Structure 1
Amino acid sequence: MEALLRFVLGRLIKQGSLTLTVSDGPTVVFGDGTGEPLHIRLTDRRAAVHLLLDPDTALGELYMDGRLVMERGDIADLLALGMINLQTHGENLPIRLLRGWRTLMRGLTQRNIASRSQRNVAHHYDLDGRLYALFLDSDRQYSCAYFEEPGYSLDDAQLAKKRHLAAKLLVDRGQTVLDIGSGWGGLALYLAERCGASVTGVTLSQEQLAVARNRATESGLGQQVEFRLQDYRSLTETFDRIVSVGMFEHVGVPYYRTYFETIKARLADDGVAVIHSIGRMGPPGSTNSWIDKYIFPGGYIPALSEVLPHIEKAGLVVTDIEILRLHYAETLKAWRQRFHARREEVLALYDERFLRMWDFYLAGSEMSFRHDGMMIFQIQIAKNQETVPLTRDYIARRETALRGREGKPRDLRLAGE
């Protein structure tokens, strides 16, 4: 098996410099010697078998279990090396067949009925709230930030993201806004305080709901913002504006029709909706098996070609699409740096295996945006094409107005801090 692993790596790693040691065996070098040299050691020979049988799952599991050790370099560097070589030289036949099969069968893993959706959300978002406070910005925005200026801090960029979304939503005082997947409440509170809107946020996370409600009370916006533990599919009200940030990735392809039909039913005739989601630059695919098992069960990152037909079939009009490319890579880089800086506090909450799991997740996610064709799309939707101005300069004008209203941010302490 070790000989077969060396053969596979020899076919895959054409550029870069990777040294492999299996247990106490000899070292073997792959690549053309360019770039920073990396050295990995598999602590036992069975690890090579696991890598060969299911590389997508085994790589992360071996790292989590301490059976794959980075003797030189970082796990993010190793993941980047693999992605760069796959992008440059293409996937081999076994990998193409495996991923083709997973794409074909993805409907089973994305069967996100209401009860299963809540369990999937709890798996990731109902972790100890103190964990997220260790590496997110002060507003606990757990989605792509918007680095509109060089040198922005994470907090600056997350505030810019909220401002950018508010501008695209064309929110005015007194309007009603639905926030689908409202998280810890930061965007809803921004839209209420800075735009004067009445906001309803829905989430399936008990932990996030408790924090969001507490924040609404602390900020004096309890009468203007309501947070509910509710599936978006069970809503009955109509709203002037609808926003969804980082939630569409949890919908699942079999439910895209339901999602956009719900948007249409809940949106006023002169309403505007903005969907902010991770997307893939290439064609449809499948969710990485390690991510599905350990991080986001039931999740899937869509291609635009899968999303737009359902918007059209729902009778909605796409009025704007913006692609944010490396913004999430920079966001994840900042999160991972903060995560590592608070390592001892993470270990006080969880164990070493959990820390390695999250390190692998954050590193792999960042490298996916840098080297594996992931991006963010923001799709603006309306029922009437005349609802939105004909040129995009209104976005910059509204952002300028919002900056003037922001002033000094509130100093709110979040639950668990």
Structure 2
Amino acid sequence: MLDKTIYKQIFKASFDAPIDVEFWDGEEVSYGEGTPIAKIKLNEIIPIKDIMAHASLTFGEAYMDGKIEITGDLQQLITVIYQSKDSFMNNSKFSKFIPKRSHSEKASKADVQSHYDIGNEFYKMWLDPTMTYSCAYFASEQDSLEDAQWNKVRHIINKLHAKPDETLLDIGCGWGTLIFTAAKEYDLEATGVTLSQEQYDFVTAKIKAEGLEGRVHVYLKDYRELVQTYDHVTSVGMFEHVGKENLQEYFEQVSNRLTDEGTALIHGITGQHDGAGVDAWINKYIFPGGYIPNVAENITHILHTPMQLDDLEPLRRHYQRTLEIWTENFHKVKEDVVGTYGMRFYRMWDLYLQSCAASFESGNIDVMQYLLTKGASCKNLPMTRAYIYHADVAHGIKLN
């Protein structure tokens, strides 16, 4: 059968590690030598033309629908596929379908709400108690995920070199961990902005519950609607949502929101090589409208604003570990997730978490922290990075 022959060619090119494959007719084929890291079972034929048109979308949907079953180490399987230069995920013959997306304020709001407004209860099932849904910072091998998330927030604020009573804006504030920390531990007046109704309601209730109405503020609006300036701007896991066509505007807005002596810390997923871009399956099912820029793109956009780049820190291994812990947590609540949302939804999120961990492990994507200043205002920062680590230790981060 032609489809089966081509499948075998695809798998042979894609797997540099031992993999077992069982085809729809019961035939089993082993690729590589040694103990298999995973087994792929194809329960039915998936048209080759669909794989060639948009590989990640086709295989992602097939996994969600049970047309493909995978036993063993799913993360390692995906890592192997990414690392093989001739695999169907990397070879131009099996190029990804990249749909063009609108990123008007209305479209951006719909995209964000489709992901974050699944419900706070869903995220509470498997995130740590800080409700932080972004890369943690493991300063020590002994750090728990919760420790590492507190580390990340404090590490970001420490880089800003902020002083008491200064103002801070967090673009895409999530469930508010950063702005509450800025207010309570650093004595800053902190403002968050989000497009998620669920997150806005959560933060609003917490502000009232903790009596922080005068120090913490949150707005349910697009960041492009803001007009006030702030001493410091942070944005964590946000620029991945704005779209390729809006990246320049995003960095211009960061610059416009900064005072002339201000500092900004932008933290987000990026590629160190060309082609990070858009994954069709993730774009359709997880992050509608998402786009992962490479480092050169972001720096080019930064250079077209009045801001300057003062520091750049890669945290790829930190996000891999974060995702691995999320996956462990997610597996522990499988029964609850399936009972509430269904098996297809569970398989979708499981694939998402493990494929992202594999992307970081393979170096397919990275995560960076960009420390930016307005013009030549870097004169306000200390001469070396020592101030960051001194502040980290002072705020309880136990460095290796």
**Interval of TM-score (by shorter of Structure 1 and Structure 2):** over 0.9
Residue from 8, 32, 38 that aligns with 1:6:
8
Match of 2:82 in 1: 83
1:388 partnered with 2:390 = no
1:58: Cα distance to partner? 1.2
Cα offset for 1:219?
A: 2.0
Q: Establish whether residue 55 from structure 1 lines up as the match of residue 50 from structure 2.
A: no
What is the RMSD of the two structures over their aligned residues, measured on CA atoms? 1.9
C-alpha displacement of 1:237? 0.5
- For residues 343-390 of structure 1, the C-alpha deviation after alignment (integer angstroms, 9 at most, x for no partner) is 111123210100000000000000100014321111111112312222
CA distance in 1, matches of 2:150, 2:75: 27
**d(CA) in 2 for partners of 1:355 and 1:149?**
31
State how far apart, in whole Å, the 1-side matches of 2:46 and 2:371 are. 50
Aligned partner of 2:170 in structure 1 is 179
Which residue is equivalent to 1:21? 22
* 1:311 alignment partner in structure 2: 302
Residue identity matched to 1:377: M
8 Å contact kept, 2:276–2:365:
no
Whether 1:228 and 2:229 are equivalent positions in the alignment is no
Work out which of the residue numbers 127, 132, 149 in structure 1 matches 2:140.
Answer: 149
Counterpart amino acid of 2:385? R
Q: Check 1:231–1:91 CA distance in 2 against 1; reply closer, same or farther (3 A cut).
A: closer
Kept after mapping to 1: 8 A contact 2:81/2:87: no
Question: Compared with structure 1, are the counterparts of its residues 35 and 325 closer, same or farther at alpha carbon in structure 2 (3 Å cutoff)?
Answer: farther
5+ residue gaps, structure 1, are 405-417
Q: 1:327 to 1:285 in 2, by over 3 A?
A: closer
- Residue of structure 2 equivalent to 1:94: 93
For residue 184 of structure 1, give the secondary structure of its aligned residue in structure 2: coil
**Structure-2 separation of matches of 1:278 and 1:37:** 28
Between stretches 232-241 and 341-350, larger displacement belongs to: 341-350
Q: Secondary structure at the match of 1:121?
A: helix
Q: 2:311 is paired with a residue of what secondary structure?
A: strand
Tell whether 2:319 aligns with 1:331: no
AA at the equivalent of 1:257 = Q
What does 1:216-295 correspond to in 2, within 5 Å?
216-295=207-286
- Give the residue type in structure 2 aligned to 1:387: N
Deviations along 1:129-155, one digit per CA (max 9) or x if unpaired, are: 111001111010000000011121001
Letter in 2 for 1:363: Q
Q: Which runs of structure 2 are paired with 1:376-415 in the superposition (5 Å)?
A: 376-383=367-374, 384-403=377-396
1:40-89 deviation per Cα after TM superposition (whole angstroms, max 9, x unaligned): 1111124666445532111111111111112x413223212212223899
Which is further off, 333-342 or 389-398? 389-398
CA deviation profile, 1:262-283 (whole Å, cap 9, x unmatched): 1222111111110000111212
CA distance in 1 between counterparts of 2:86 and 2:121 reads 37
Q: 1:89 to 1:207 in 2, by over 3 A?
A: closer
Three-state SS of the structure 1 residue aligned to 2:125 is helix
Specify whether residues 387 and 253 from structure 1 end up closer, same or farther in structure 2 by C-alpha distance, changes over 3 A only. Answer: farther
TM-score with structure 1 setting the length? 0.90
In 2, distance between residues paired with 1:378 and 1:175? 21
Letter in 1 for 2:83: I
- CA distances 1:175-228 after superposition (whole Å, capped 9, x unpaired): 111010000011100000000011110000001111111122222222210111
Letter in 2 for 1:398: A
Q: Residue 360 of structure 2 corresponds to which residue in structure 1?
A: 369
Aligned-residue offset at 1:294:
0.3
- Which amino acid counterpart does residue 82 of structure 1 have in structure 2? I
Match in the other structure for 1:407: none
Tell me the distance in 2 between the aligned counterparts of 1:149 and 1:297.
35
**2-side partners of 1:250 and 1:322: how far apart?**
21
- The normalised TM-score by structure 2 is 0.93
- CA distance in structure 1 between the aligned counterparts of 2:282 and 2:293, rounded to whole angstroms: 15
Aligned partners of 1:17 and 1:37 also within 8 Å:
yes
Quote the Cα distance in structure 1 between the aligned partners of 2:296 and 2:281: 25
- 3-state SS of paired residue (1:7): helix
Q: Which moved more, 1:316-325 or 1:157-166?
A: 316-325
Match for residue 73 of structure 2?
74
Moved over 4 A (4+): 47-50, 87-90
Deviates more, 1:15-24 or 1:362-371: 15-24
Per-residue CA shift, 1:292-337, capped at 9, x if unaligned?
A: 0000011111111001111111121111111112000000000000
Q: Aligned ranges for residues 338-357 of structure 1 at < 5 Å?
A: 338-357=329-348
Number of residues of Structure 1 aligned to a counterpart in Structure 2: 393
Identity of aligned residues (%): 35
Q: 1:93 to 1:343 in 2, by over 3 A?
A: closer
Distance 1:51 1:325, change over 3 A: same
Structure 2: 5+ residue runs without aligned partners? none
Which is further off, 75-84 or 144-153? 75-84
Q: In 1, Cα distance between the equivalents of 2:393 and 2:89?
A: 45
